[in-house]
Amino acid sequence: MLYYWDIIGTFFFCVSGALAGRQNGMDFLGTFVLALVTGTGGGILRAVLMGTVPPHVFVDPAYVSTAVVATPCATLFPAFWQKFSREVSVLDALGLGIFVCIGTDVAIQHGLSWWASAGMGVITATFGGVMRDVLRNEVPLIFRKEIYATAALAGALILLAFHALAVPNAVSIPVAVAITAGVRLLAIRYAVNQSASS
Query: Which has the minimum average pLDDT: 79-88, 116-125, 159-168?
Result: 79-88
Which pLDDT belongs to residue 87? 66
Q: 0.75 exceeded by the pTM? A: yes
Instruction: Tell me the chain's radius of gyration from C-alpha atoms.
Output: 16
Q: Which residues of 162-184 are buried (b: 16+ CB within 10 A; e: fewer)?
A: bbeeeeebeebbebbbebbbebb
What is the average per-residue pLDDT within 176-193? 86
Q: 42 and 128 in contact (C-beta within 8 Å)?
A: yes
Q: What is the pLDDT of residues 50-59, one digit of tens each?
A: 999 899 999 9
Question: What mean pLDDT, rounded, does the chain reach?
Answer: 89
Which pLDDT belongs to residue 10? 94
Count other C-beta atoms under 10 Å from residue 54's C-beta.
10
52 backbone dihedrals φ, ψ, rounded to 5°: -90, 90
d(CA 149, CA 128): 12
Annotated domain spans of the chain = 2-197
